[in-house]
Structure 1
Amino acid sequence: MTDPGLYRHLDEMAPWNDRLQVLEVIGIADEAPDVKTFTFRSDNQTWFRYKPGQFITLELPVGDEPIMRTYTLSSSPSRPFSISVTVKAQPGSLGTRWMLDHLKRGDHIRAYGPSGDFSHHDHPAAKYLFISAGSGVTPMMSMLRWFNDCAPWTDVAFVNCARRPEEIIFRKELELLGSRMPGLSLGFLIEERSSRESWFGHMGRIDAVRLPLLAPDFREREVFCCGPEPFMRAVRDMLQAAGFDMAQYHQESFAAPVAEPLPTPSADNAGEGKVEPTLPVRFAFSDIDGQCVSGQTVLQTARASGVRIPAACEFGLCGTCKVMKLSGEVEMSHNGGILDHEIDEGFILACCSRPLSAIAIEA
């Protein structure tokens, strides 16, 4: 029996708060081989406020210590009572494989976010080109679903690349949207034929010859690209060679930049007996006092002190390690994982904040 308490108007509900509520699995759907969509609702009847294309971080109870994995939302905020992630298990994947094998309806899981700035809402344009490969289709699907609900006349060229026809994620829904959205043009590109189903469309890898066939006016469009790093690099190089205005190019990537090794605590410096300078860090909720070696982050200090702060990307993108700074000063160099108003309120990202003085945080 459906719970009558679920029937509430949006203005009777508060937005979801990732620090107070967890997610409940309410639906699981197969999309392609080793690809599933998991749909969640809040465990406290709240609604979800986010931009199409943003991501969340899930805390997965895989082993003795939970692991953090970041997934783009494939759902649209135009349908705010639930959110969905569509995940694909790669060879050697740990978190995603656990989700496919163990997560079931009724399970509860902690999540953080939403975060990210890969959204058409931040780049309004007359015409768009979405280029994706593999599970990189998920942010494109979020944006396209929003267009379908809110602005179905929008001019969108949607190009999706896959290895085989059966690996095209959301293919049936995309073809249905193609018949309903007058401004949508679909272009599928596969690398090899399959014995499971016939294929009469484009074949090969996207290049300077095939792109104009799929989107003849690509130079006039705002381009969003998501997929494996080599795929995005090839698309970016191709557009640059074609004279495309790269200010109109946007890509989603969770790859960490190359970082220089950070210093670690030591009793002396190169055998000279020099003690490394430290700064005190107070973890208020844990009632623990730590010492931060010069150059270390708040997150590294927390781990050395036995304090757990959830973290996923660890380079200032996902926002999972956001904590309130109670006192003191830090130097923070992030990659979009925190908003200006959150910084003004006193929040920091522990993974990319280095103390400049004694500090205290809520952790």
Structure 2
Amino acid sequence: MEGTRLNWATEPWRDSEMLECVTVVPETAGCATFAFRAPSGAWFDYQPGQFITLDLPVPGGNVQRTYTLSSSPSRPMSISVTVKAQADSVGTRWMLDNLKPGMRLRAFGPGGIFSFLRHPAQKYLFISAGSGITPLMSMTTWAWDSGGPLDIAFIHAARRPSDIIFRERLEQFARRVEGLQLRFTVKEPDPFGIWSGYQGRLSQIMLGLMAPDYLERRVFCCGPEPFMQMVREMLISLGYDMDQYHQESFGAPIRTEAEAPVIEDITPEEGAGAQITFATSGVTAPCSETDTVLAVARRAGLNIPSGCTFGLCGTCKTRKIAGEVHMVHNGGISDDDIAEGWILACCSNPMGKVVLDL
């Protein structure tokens, strides 16, 4: 029986050659992996975690969209991107609806600086949410294929268990090698499904349970910007050395070191002055940004009911009338409450002048 003849080239792929889609694999709802091969048989040379840019022939004119490679250069004869459509997707929506095996696309790259090969370490902590898992999947595959000892704690957040991209593949890796610790947390279980893992917003408490030695690990994080900001604030408040932290937004991958933005999170500063006015009580108390609202209230002789004192129980929920606070909680308050002006006094630091309804 005569099989399909494959041509293998001795040179790596250059983006002057169009790519041919060879497989389309559904992953989760609204998400699929597209694998590409160079018609010439050229192989692909890149770093795990990098991205390519696809030129997509959408109605009305071509658009260029950047996608992280979910494949690993340890498997160099093809590359793949795993895409998930958002509400306003144009290019990704076209791919999911129209891109089929045999079609060819112009691609540019690869590029990007988000790769653990650039930052060797003995122990890694990967943290992702949604389709931000793709570069970390590439890195994990590279590490698994290398055949050496692994020490990766992999934390991923998703809405439901059925939304965890690459779950089966990661679990297969973890079953066959020591040193890959998988931890998933979901917002809610699937209907009529059983979920025995973590549930709820990723928090400091969860992090301590999922990776107790997180302070010793080099962190790579990818996901929506609000998620990454939450992770940064959480790590900063826990005393993590942020020089060991690296992130990539799947919305805007960074091409070069020069393009990398300086992350300037607003955090309480030691010695910086602040002031809290307790409007109902008629008390104004000077303090510092590193003081918690709860501590300032107690010094002023005011009683705010409290329980856990680390943002979990929600007992100290207090309404903020004016000003800004820096709050890193552990799930004791909802996003809706925060939007309405509520804070948790035990884990909120005043940033300048703050007025509370107390």
TM-score, normalised with respect to structure 1 = 0.69
1:17 aligns with 2:14: yes
Q: 1:74 aligns with which of 52, 70, 76?
A: 70
Partner of 1:143: 139
Partner of 2:188: 192
Q: Secondary structure at the match of 1:69?
A: strand
1:117 aligns with 2:113: yes
CA distance in 2, matches of 1:36, 1:113: 21
> 2:69·2:80 contact (CA, 8 Å) conserved in 1?
yes
> 2:46·2:73 contact (CA, 8 Å) conserved in 1?
yes
Runs of 4+ in 1 over 4 A off after TM superposition: none
Partner of 1:235: 231
Q: Secondary structure at the match of 1:4?
A: coil
Number of residue-to-residue matches in the alignment: 259
1:168 aligns with 2:164: yes
Q: Which amino acid aligns with 1:78?
A: S
Deviations 1:172-198 (A, max 9, x none): 111111101201111000011211521
> 2:114·2:246 contact (CA, 8 Å) conserved in 1?
yes
CA distance in 2, matches of 1:41, 1:184: 29
Q: 2:91 aligns with which of 89, 95, 116?
A: 95
Larger Rg: 2
RMSD of aligned Cα (Å) = 1.6
Percent identity over paired residues: 53
Deviations 1:216-265 (A, max 9, x none): 00000010000000000000110011000001000002556xxxxxxxxx
1:129 aligns with 2:125: yes
Deviations 1:141-196 (A, max 9, x none): 00000011004421000001000010000111111111012011110000112115
CA distance in 2, matches of 1:52, 1:117: 10
Q: Which amino acid aligns with 2:5?
A: P
> 1:166·1:196 contact (CA, 8 Å) conserved in 2?
no
Partner of 1:3: 4
Q: Which amino acid aligns with 1:123?
A: H
CA distance in 2, matches of 1:218, 1:25: 39
CA distance in 2, matches of 1:193, 1:4: 46
Deviation, 1:2, is 3.6
CA distance in 2, matches of 1:198, 1:102: 35
Partner of 2:247: 251
Partner of 2:302: none
1:49 aligns with 2:45: yes
> 1:152·1:181 contact (CA, 8 Å) conserved in 2?
no
Deviation, 1:128, is 0.3
TM-score, normalised with respect to structure 2 = 0.70
CA distance in 2, matches of 1:105, 1:255: 26
> 1:226·1:251 contact (CA, 8 Å) conserved in 2?
yes
> 1:60·1:69 contact (CA, 8 Å) conserved in 2?
yes
Partner of 2:101: 105
CA distance in 1, matches of 2:6, 2:251: 42
Q: Secondary structure at the match of 2:174?
A: helix
1:204 aligns with 2:200: yes
Partner of 1:335: 259
Q: Secondary structure at the match of 2:178?
A: coil
CA distance in 1, matches of 2:12, 2:67: 20
Q: Secondary structure at the match of 1:65?
A: coil
Deviations 1:259-311 (A, max 9, x none): xxxxxxxxxxxxxxxxxxxxxxxxxxxxxxxxxxxxxxxxxxxxxxxxxxxxx
